[in-house]
Amino acid sequence: MTTITRELPAHRHSNAWYLGWATILGLLVWSWEGAGMNPSLLLRYGGNVVSFGKGFFPPDFSDWRMFLEETAVTIKIAVWGTTLAIVCSVPLGILCSENMVPWYVHQPVRRLMDVFRAINEMVYAMLFVVIVGLGPFAGVMALWVHTTGVLAKLFAEAVEASDPRPVEGIRATGATWLQEVVFGVVPQVLPLWISYSLYRFESNVRSATVLGLVGAGGIGQVLWEDVRGFYYAQTAAVMVFIIVAVSLIDFLSQRLRRVFQ
């Protein structure tokens, strides 16, 4: 009589499993030095953290009028940067879509958008500060270029996922290419486009708060100047303004986005 033994299949990790972990650990060790990792500094200067933290309290709101104005400037930068980007992303997004234009159009346009997107807003801001001078307009330009790269790609993805049949229905009436876009594609993708645009506006308000660090205006510039001047009480007040403004915009924009879904 044979007994049937039911053993669990031996669980063995494959070589790839060990290799994967070894790679990750190796990467962390290799990066330790370059990143200047030194936790002991935190311990040694722990006292600094406490006194630094004490400096923040109580926040000094005496300049609140100026903070409010500068917060408004930051939002205005985001409004214009995003709006200009949306206006450019509509045609560029169509020109990035492989179902709308031949490859010799969408390939170069897409690469251009990759370039726009690959470089961070802060880097653009530094460049535009050199070109157009210190101030909010450099911030607008920076957001415009970067956001165009992002939105054109998102817009194109929506266009590529749209239903080709209504478009063909319009083509069959003898419509032009542009009319196919206007009446066949845009109505289909508009809700998505609006939603993407609002989302980018939210994140541009956040980005705009730091653009001031390179001299591109707004509340970020105030923040930077206060930190550099060791005015921690003011810094704390500015941060409260930023948090409130960003949360408020996020909240409103999310409510609005829900309408278009």
Partner 1 sequence: MTAVQVTSVSKSFRGGRRALDRVSLSIAQGEMVALIGASGSGKSTLLRHIAGLVGADRGEEPGRIEVFGAEIQSGGRISGHCRRLRADVGFVFQQFNLVGRLSVMTNVLLGSLGRIPAWRGTLGLFQNAEKHHAMEALHRVGIADFALQKASTLSGGQQQRAAIARTLVQKARLVLADEPIASLDPASATKVMETLATVNREDGITVVVSLHQVDYALRYCPRAIAMQAGRIVYDGPSTGLTPAFLADLYGSERPGSAPAADPGHPPLGPVGSAALAYLS
Amino acid at 152: A
Q: How far is the CB of 163 from partner 1 (least distance, A)?
A: 8
Q: How far is the CB of 101 from partner 1 (least distance, A)?
A: 17
Between 184 and 218, name the residue whose CB sits nearer to partner 1: 184
Q: How far is the CB of 171 from partner 1 (least distance, A)?
A: 7
User: Which of 160, 188, 224, 250 contacts partner 1 by CB under 8 A?
Assistant: 188
CA distance 23 to 104: 40
Interacting span for partner 1 (CB under 8 A) from 56-64, 100-108, 148-156, 184-192: 184-192
Q: How far is the CB of 257 from partner 1 (least distance, A)?
A: 18
Q: How far is the CB of 151 from partner 1 (least distance, A)?
A: 21
CA distance 119 to 12: 44
103 lies in the binding site for partner 1 (CB under 8 A): no
91 lies in the binding site for partner 1 (CB under 8 A): no
184 lies in the binding site for partner 1 (CB under 8 A): yes
CA distance 85 to 153: 12
Q: Which residues contact 122 (CB under 8 A, 6 or more apart)?
A: 142, 210, 211, 213, 214
Q: To 10 degrees, what angle do helices 136-160 and 121-132 make? A: 130
Between 8 and 172, name the residue whose CB sits nearer to partner 1: 172
227 lies in the binding site for partner 1 (CB under 8 A): no
172 lies in the binding site for partner 1 (CB under 8 A): yes
DSSP reduced 3-state for 35: coil
C-alpha angle with apex 91: 254 to 166, nearest 5 degrees? 80
Q: Closest Cα to residue 82, out of 220, 249, 223, 242?
A: 249
DSSP reduced 3-state for 221: helix
183 lies in the binding site for partner 1 (CB under 8 A): yes
How many angstroms from the chain centroid is the CA of residue 65?
29
Q: How many residues bind partner 1 (CB under 8 A)?
A: 19
169 lies in the binding site for partner 1 (CB under 8 A): yes
Alpha-carbon dihedral of residues 96, 101, 103, 104, nearest 10 degrees? Answer: -90
Q: How far is the CB of 150 from partner 1 (least distance, A)?
A: 25
Provide the binding-site residues for partner 1, judged by CB under 8 A. 165-166, 168-176, 178-179, 182-184, 187-188, 190
